[in-house]
Structure 1
Amino acid sequence: MSIENALRGLTAGIAVLGYVSLFLLLQIRTTPVSALAGIAVLATAALAVAGGRPAVRQLLGRGPSSQADTPEWWLARLEPAVEDAWNAYADLVLTVGLWAISVGSFGGLITYPGDDPPFGLAIAGFLSMVCGLISLGFLIDSRYE
């Protein structure tokens, strides 16, 4: 595998991880807007490196596919945008990143200073843990192809 393919895979994994974490943080509704904006900028920059301008346009719903083929939900448009750049490195970044989100969420629950911690942290922790395990399966499967 060339260095270019490895870089595209790493940035594709970072882009997907960024948008998934952005979605989870938007659901929790306790994250500052500046942090959300920073994650969105980082994920968009990684998407631009991984797939170029066509990938960003496809995420925005302005890609080359017809309007009938374009999903309504912005997160569903992410998979086709990074499909060409996805490889084992992207699976690795996604797996490790999802587990880091899970550990961070559970750590936030444990160290929450108030009496009533946000329930969204538990949901984000469990979803990230399960999705990380699923991603691990794809990572292991790609090693044997």
Structure 2
Amino acid sequence: MKRVSLSHAPCPVARALDVIGDWWSLLIIRDAIEGVRRFSAFQSSLGIAKGMLATRLRALIERGIMTQAPASDGSAYRDYVLTPKGQALHLVIAALRQWGEEELYETDEAHSVLVDKHDSLPVAPLILRSADGRTLYWSDTQVQRVGD
């Protein structure tokens, strides 16, 4: 099946998935957030084929999520770094991580956890809030079109 572009969809979720929707891309972004910079390090961390990794990195660069920069160690290699647009996905990755921690592990099952660098304590659960600060649940929101 040929991939259909959602780049002009009226839904922001569909457009976001068009840019970063496949799981390899999300895992590459996760690794970049955690400090991975080199092609070989992404490959080693993910166990992904070179061709697949090259394709995903190229797409992330084309979509403005990542860029290439001279290697931070001064070598001839190139580093892959998140752009500000890519860095903004940290909240998305954190939300997926917290959902996974809550819903996909048994109480005593080993897994990683996101912690605050300042005090090494787990990050508090992300909460959707209204403009006036109230906690919002799925049943408290609705989608409204703008610009029609």
TM-score of the aligned structures, taking structure 1 as reference length: 0.36
- Which of the two has greater strand per residue? 2
- Which of the two has greater helix per residue? 1
Higher relative contact order (CA 8 A, sep 6+): 1
TM-score of the aligned structures, taking structure 2 as reference length: 0.35
